[in-house]
Structure 1
Amino acid sequence: MSSLPLVSAIEKAFSARQTLIESLHGEKTNAYRLFNGSTENHPGLTVDRYGELLLIQTFHAPLEADERIAIENYYASALPGLITVYNDRSQSNSRIANPLQGQEQAEAEKQRQFSELGLNYLVQGRHSGQDPWLFLDMRAGRRRILQEAAGKSVLNLFAYTCGIGVAAAKAGATHVVNVDFAESNLNVGKENARLNDLPIRMRFVQSDAFAAMRQFAGIGQASMVRGKRMPAFPKLEAKRFDLVFLDPPRYAKSAFGVVDIVNDYAALMKLALACTHEGGTLICCNNAAQLSREIWGDQLLRCAKKAGRTVREIEWIQPESDFPSHDGQPPLKIALLRV
């Protein structure tokens, strides 16, 4: 297959982003999506810049050798000096099935620093997980947190590497709690915090989100359920927050509950609402492409009503223009609710 149509597509995408890139650089941001294949005529291919790292990823099929060379050559000319890492994620165990050699492996596993909206974060082309350490489409959410968090207590659920928490602390939040099940994610979050001159010390809680939310909500988490001992979990005092950020994965199952953002988002939202002060703000995220904004928005409103909470205002936060959408329905949906 000729690489010419692909080069034409990435060139068109780069040209379309020039105004955005110039604006982002003015905001001390050097991380953005350069090519979003699902909406730019090459589904299954993404190209992201994280500072000096150029991260190429494939999700449906690996690149042909000439395609990879063509992409690397194009960006070597358009953005000289970047280090390229290619991750083929089209098969299971892709890190094993797609080994790198020598210097290429060393470059892929090197920790690097990049900037977004004046904040510093770590990235590593390859690590023990699959996804990059910061999701670039969530820039819109982190931007909004910088505007919202001053003077507020913040609960960051499914915190991953704590980008939302770092933004909240930098914005002047009085108290920030990051909750994630994976110690490795929180360790990166702690490093992200150290990279920035934050006015407060954030709290990092390694816990299943259901167990944490039940305790913060004052419901409590039992150690025994239906005669079975639950896995160990940290004991937390009841506390409500001014601002709660809920960004769950698509699906996860544990002894404490099932995360299913397509079929049962309400199970999470009900508990998140119970952790949110009356008059506070709950920001909900959903990355399931097959679920429309209208259908999901209706689910959120019905859940709040059933929980006895009034939604005074709902606002949709759109991903920024390096994540273009054909129909105004980007996969990532972010709903800000005043409750």
Structure 2
Amino acid sequence: MQVSKLPIFFSHVSDALYNAPDEVRRLFHGRGRVYPGLEQITCDWVDSQLLINVFKPVEEAFIEALKAGIDTLSQTDSWCAKGVTCAAIQHRYLDGAPLEVVFGELNDKPIVIESGLKYQLNIGRNQNFGLFLDMRLGRDWVKSHASNKRVLNLFSYTCGFSVAAIEGGATQVVNVDMARASLNKGRDNHRLNGQNLSQVKFLAYDIFKSWGKIRKLGPYDLVVIDPPSFQKGSFALSKDYIRILRRLPELLAERGKVLACVNSPQVSGDFLITSMQEAAPQIGYQSRLDNPAEFSDIDSDAALKVMLFEHHPETT
């Protein structure tokens, strides 16, 4: 990355900050490669805090210029108008992704709002703080299409899709994730929103060893699949995704929908379409959801792909 490009970063952050809603938001997305020389930096607005992530090693001069720019930004009208309480840099390229506070005092467990729903975050303990902001429109879609639906949420993480589904009127959501700690955070997210936990199940399962148990709780009107691109020992997108798609016909109700996601820049949206045609031809492709405008990317196939499918068993 280039020190000479940091004025562009701060200009965009200042404008985005001034116009930011009172919700969690990405303010600058260098990883979309729209801003040459700033490809490995992002900035998020999180409960009156600016969280800047640097993803690849940079020269010390870059970090020093970044800190100086934060100091200058702290004296602007945008900063004062929004009441910024903290600015921090997370060095994602270092072991443990350490967080360096450069202004104010960090609230490492903020409760944030997205589309009117509350989520508990955990900043600085992990690379990800508990909510993937590029999936905002996916959660919005689920909320608006969940009424009276039974929903299966695979790789549920902290259950953002589940919270959105219950808010949208889902009758039941089944969350499946190997990480019990993430499911516990998901349970907290449901409680934050005053939702009825009797409508929600939290299954700390290895999906590939638990299809029978998952199937018994169906059939499902909507299945959400949002896996990691790679998880050592448990999931490799290129070979394991199709194993999930093959199971969908036995999980879905007639006309049931699938929201399938891929967030690897090496895999295009066509991967999901062709894999579905091969694994479950009775489940047809419908459309691709837009990503939030703040996540603009010079290559749509390198960005998050959120694809919608529908089950038509009569086509088998």
TM-score band (shorter)? 0.7 to 0.9
Residue equivalent to 1:86: 89
Q: C-alpha deviations, 1:28-51, integer Å up to 9, x for none?
A: x51111111122330111111122
The residue identity in structure 1 corresponding to 2:293 is: S
Task: Tell me the CA shift for residue 297 of structure 1.
Answer: 2.1
C-alpha distance 12-56 of structure 1, shift in aligned 2 (>3 A): closer
Alignment of 1:224-263 (within 5 A): 237-254=216-233, 258-263=234-239
Residue equivalent to 2:51: 55
Alignment of 1:150-229 (within 5 A): 150-199=147-196, 201=198, 202-217=200-215
Residue equivalent to 2:314: none
Alignment of 1:91-106 (within 5 A): 91-95=94-98
C-alpha distance 203-70 of structure 1, shift in aligned 2 (>3 A): same
Q: C-alpha deviations, 1:184-217, integer Å up to 9, x for none?
A: 2112111111111325532211111223334323
Residue equivalent to 2:119: 121
* Structure 1, gaps ≥5 residues long: 218-236
Query: What secondary structure, in the 3-state scheme, does the structure 2 residue paired with 1:124 have?
Result: coil
Question: Which of 253, 268, 291 is the equivalent residue of 1:319?
Answer: 291
The residue identity in structure 2 corresponding to 1:209 is: I
C-alpha distance 179-72 of structure 1, shift in aligned 2 (>3 A): farther
Task: Tell me the CA shift for residue 248 of structure 1.
Answer: 0.6
Asked if the contact 2:40/2:54 (under 8 Å) is kept, the reply is: yes
Asked if the contact 2:257/2:308 (under 8 Å) is kept, the reply is: yes
Alignment of 1:282-293 (within 5 A): 282-293=258-269
- Scaled by the length of structure 1, the TM-score of the pair is 0.80
RMSD, matched Cα = 2.7
Asked if the contact 1:259/1:268 (under 8 Å) is kept, the reply is: no
Task: Tell me the CA shift for residue 76 of structure 1.
Answer: 6.0
The residue identity in structure 1 corresponding to 2:166 is: A
C-alpha distance 276-11 of structure 1, shift in aligned 2 (>3 A): same
Q: C-alpha deviations, 1:263-288, integer Å up to 9, x for none?
A: 44201222244322222011111111
- Scaled by the length of structure 2, the TM-score of the pair is 0.85
Residue equivalent to 2:273: 297
Query: What secondary structure, in the 3-state scheme, does the structure 1 residue paired with 2:238 have?
Result: coil
- Mapped to 2, the partners of 1:75 and 1:212 lie a distance apart of 51
Q: C-alpha deviations, 1:8-27, integer Å up to 9, x for none?
A: 23414654x589x56xx3xx
Q: C-alpha deviations, 1:131-187, integer Å up to 9, x for none?
A: 121000000110101111110011111111111000000110000111111122112
Query: What secondary structure, in the 3-state scheme, does the structure 1 residue paired with 2:227 have?
Result: coil
The residue identity in structure 2 corresponding to 1:116 is: E
